[in-house]
């Protein structure tokens, strides 16, 4: 398990020129926010630690991908989503190297761009692999994501899985560096 101090050392040691940060599940506590919205809608009491599948089927088995995407696109999501503690401190230290990297629908990506203002955001469709981008285009890159396959598909020089808790289907099979928090 590595922490923010280890990442800062890695950035210097590996001469990292660009840091790609996934947004949902790495910068934003998106799963908890979606749980809060769905709990209100369905009169349930789930939290991010309870969610192990992409479609939030732990809350209701009839929730479709389209319903989940609608939540991610909604203004209520952007009005209530919180950033992980400590992530803004990290972003501010490395602001000149940071690029946010996110999948989403058009509405979601537009709202993320507005939400983060002047921090560069590369957004692309949900079905496209994050491996399409040459992350090392300016030199060595660091990529932090919460999805194993995104890291596997990437050509980033250094890769870290953000894994807040255990058991999520999208995090199985990762054997590289792992972090659980942005706090030191």
pLDDT in tens, 89-143: 999 999 999 999 999 999 999 999 999 999 999 998 988 888 888 999 999 999 9
What whole-number distance in Å separates Cα of residue 8 and Cα of residue 113?
A: 26
Domain identity same for 22 and 106: yes
Domain identity same for 98 and 19: yes
Domain identity same for 98 and 170: yes
CA angle 165, 27, 57 (to 5 degrees): 50
What whole-number distance in Å separates Cα of residue 85 and Cα of residue 139?
A: 29
Using the predicted structure, report yes or no on whether residue 53 has a pLDDT greater than 90. no
What whole-number distance in Å separates Cα of residue 86 and Cα of residue 91?
A: 9
Tell which of 79, 112, 141 closes a domain. 79
Domain identity same for 74 and 89: no
What whole-number distance in Å separates Cα of residue 128 and Cα of residue 100?
A: 16
% of the chain residues with pLDDT over 70: 100
pLDDT of residue 93: 96
Domain identity same for 69 and 132: no
Domain identity same for 74 and 113: no
The model carries a pTM of: 0.94
Structural domain boundaries, residue 67: 31-79
Report if residue 184 sits inside a domain. no
Domain identity same for 102 and 11: yes
What whole-number distance in Å separates Cα of residue 109 and Cα of residue 114?
A: 9
Helices (H), the chain: 4-13, 30-42, 65-73, 75-80, 87-93, 106-116, 148-153
Residues 68 and 34 sit within 8 Å (Cβ to Cβ):
yes
Position 154 confidence tier, pLDDT thresholds 50, 70, 90? very high
pLDDT of residue 121: 96
């Amino acid at each position: 398990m590595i922490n923010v101090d280890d990442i800062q050392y890695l950035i210097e040691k590996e001469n990292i020129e660009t840091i790609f940060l996934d947004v949902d599940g790495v910068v934003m506590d998106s799963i908890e926010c979606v749980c809060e919205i769905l709990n209100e809608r369905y009169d349930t009491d789930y939290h991010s630690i309870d969610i192990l599948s992409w479609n939030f089927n732990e809350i209701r088995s009839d929730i479709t991908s389209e319903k989940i995407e609608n939540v991610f696109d909604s203004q209520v999501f952007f009005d209530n989503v919180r950033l992980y503690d400590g992530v803004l401190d990290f972003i501010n230290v490395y602001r000149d190297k940071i690029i946010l990297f996110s999948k989403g629908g058009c509405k979601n990506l537009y709202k993320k761009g507005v939400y983060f203002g002047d921090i560069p955001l590369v957004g692309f469709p949900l079905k496209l692999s994050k491996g399409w981008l040459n992350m090392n285009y300016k030199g060595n890159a660091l990529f932090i994501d919460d999805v194993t396959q995104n890291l596997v598909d990437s050509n980033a020089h250094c890769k870290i899985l953000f894994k807040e808790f255990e058991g999520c289907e999208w995090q199985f099979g990762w054997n590289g560096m792992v972090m659980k928090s942005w706090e030191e």
